[in-house]
C-alpha cells in the first residue's frame, strides 16, 4: 500500500494583525513571517510526521520553489513526482492572523494551477489498486485525477478545501474518505445542526468514510456501521493555520495503521491541538512522538 498526495505547495506570507481587514481598510501588521504551506504540502508533512511513507505530486516554480521541496524532503516525503516549472511562480498566499489566532487566506495558485494531464497520467501510472490518493482543492485538473484514480482502483481521500461551487461537479461518488469541516460539508449535504449534516452526508455517500470537524465543538466519524465523536483538546490558540491539514494527515495515518475510528479522532485531535498552539502552517505540524507525549501526559 502506497500513499500519493497530489496537492498544492504555497509560500505563506503571514501577517500578525490586530483584526482581520475589512473592505477599504488599511492596517499596519505588527509582525510578518514567511512559512512553507499549501494544503497539499501541509497534509503530506502531517502524514510523514505521523509516520506514513508518502509521495507528494504537484508543481513548483524553479525560481522560488526550492524552499518548498526542501521542507518536504527534510521530513522524508518522496518527491519523485514533483515537477519544477520554468518562468512561473510557485503558489503563494497572504495570510492575516488576528489576536485570537483566527486567520483569513488569499491564495495565488501559480504553479499549482499548471498541472498537466500528461503529468497526472505518468504519476498515477506508478500507483495501483489498494494505494491511496490524497486530494484537496488547490490544484487544477482534479476531475481528471479522480477519474483516472478511480479507474485504477486507487482509494480517494478528499479534503474539499478551499470549498467552492465546482466541488459539486466532481465525481464525488468515487470518494472513499471525505475529510471536511462544517463549512465544507454544507454545500455537499443539507442540515441545520452538526448531526443533521453528518447524517445527510452519510446518506448521500453511504459507502464512504465521513470525517467532519466542527471547530471548537470537536470532530465526528461516520460510516454505515459506526459513528464516533471526539471533543477538542483545550489549548491556548496562537494560529489556526494548517490545523485542518494536520487533522487530515494524522487521522489518515492512524486509519492506515488500522486504529479504531475513535483512536483516529483522538490522535488527530491531539495533533491539531498542538498545531494551533504554534505559529505558521507547516512549521506548526507536530511530530508523531510529540503527539504521543501530549496524549501520555493527559492520562498520567
Ligand atoms: O490550510 C492552510 C493552508 O491553506 C496554508 O498553508 C495556505 O497555503 C493555504 O493553502
Q: Are 250 and 284 in contact (CB under 8 A)?
A: no
| Calculated CA dihedral for residues 186, 187, 191, 192, nearest 10 degrees | 50
pLDDT digits (tens, 9 = 90+) for 173-190: 999 999 999 999 999 999
Tell how far the Cα of 259 is from the centroid of ligand 1, in angstroms: 28
Cα(300) to centroid(ligand 1), Å: 35
- Residue 299, pLDDT > 90, answer no
Three-state secondary structure call for residue 168: helix
Residue 176 has a pLDDT of 98
* Per-residue model confidence (pLDDT) at position 145: 98
Nearest atom, ligand 1, residue 41 CA: 6
Mean pLDDT for all residues in the chain: 97
Please report, for residues 1, 3, 262, 270, 292, the alpha-carbon distance to residue 130 in angstroms, rounded to integers and kept in the order given: 6, 10, 23, 28, 28
Q: pTM of this prediction? A: 0.97
The average pLDDT across 187-198 equals 95
Whole-angstrom distance, CA of residue 35 vs CA of residue 192: 36
Q: How far from each other are the two terminal CA atoms of the chain, in whole angstroms?
A: 35
Contact, 122 vs 99, CB < 8 A?
no
pLDDT (0 to 100) of residue 122 = 98
| Bridge partner residues of 36 (DSSP) | 11
Whether residue 184 has its Cβ less than 6 Å from ligand 1: no
- Dihedral (CA of 192, 195, 201, 204) sign: negative
Nearest to 187 by CA among 205, 204, 165: 165
pLDDT tens digits for range 13-51: 999 999 999 999 999 999 999 999 999 999 999 999 999
Cα 79 to ligand 1 centroid, rounded to whole Å: 19
Nearest-Å Rg of the Cα atoms of the chain is 18
Amino acid at each position: 500500500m502506497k500513499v500519493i498526495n497530489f496537492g498544492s505547495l504555497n509560500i505563506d506570507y503571514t501577517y500578525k494583525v490586530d483584526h482581520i481587514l475589512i473592505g477599504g481598510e488599511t492596517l499596519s501588521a505588527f509582525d510578518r513571517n514567511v512559512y512553507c504551506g499549501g494544503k497539499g504540502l501541509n497534509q503530506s508533512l502531517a502524514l510523514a510526521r505521523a509516520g506514513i511513507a508518502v509521495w507528494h505530486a504537484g508543481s513548483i516554480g524553479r525560481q522560488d520553489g526550492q524552499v518548498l521541496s526542501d521542507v518536504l524532503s527534510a521530513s522524508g516525503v518522496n518527491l519523485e513526482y514533483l515537477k519544477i516549472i520554468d518562468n512561473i511562480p510557485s503558489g503563494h498566499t497572504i495570510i492575516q492572523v488576528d489576536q485570537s489566532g483566527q486567520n483569513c487566506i488569499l491564495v495565488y495558485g501559480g504553479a499549482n494551477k499548471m498541472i498537466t494531464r500528461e503529468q497526472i497520467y505518468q504519476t498515477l501510472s506508478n500507483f495501483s489498486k489498494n494505494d491511496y490518493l490524497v486530494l484537496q482543492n488547490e490544484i487544477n485538473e482534479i476531475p481528471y485525477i479522480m477519474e483516472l484514480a478511480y479507474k485504477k482502483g486507487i482509494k480517494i481521500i478528499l479534503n474539499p478545501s478551499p470549498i467552492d461551487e465546482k466541488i459539486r461537479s466532481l465525481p464525488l461518488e468515487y470518494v472513499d474518505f471525505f475529510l471536511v469541516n462544517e463549512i465544507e460539508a454544507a454545500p455537499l449535504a443539507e442540515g441545520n445542526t452538526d448531526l443533521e449534516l453528518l447524517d445527510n452526508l452519510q446518506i448521500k455517500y453511504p459507502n464512504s468514510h465521513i470525517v467532519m470537524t466542527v471547530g471548537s465543538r470537536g470532530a465526528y466519524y461516520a460510516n454505515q456501521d459506526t459513528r464516533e465523536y471526539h471533543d477538542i483538546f483545550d489549548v491556548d490558540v496562537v494560529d489556526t493555520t494548517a490545523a485542518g491539514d494536520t487533522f487530515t494527515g494524522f487521522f489518515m495515518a492512524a486509519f492506515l495503521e488500522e486504529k479504531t475510528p475513535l483512536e483516529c479522532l483522538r490522535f488527530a485531535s491531539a495533533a491539531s491541538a498542538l498545531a494551533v498552539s504554534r505559529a505558521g502552517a507547516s512549521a506548526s505540524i507536530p511530530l508523531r512522538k510529540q503527539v504521543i507525549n501530549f496524549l501520555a501526559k493527559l492520562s498520567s
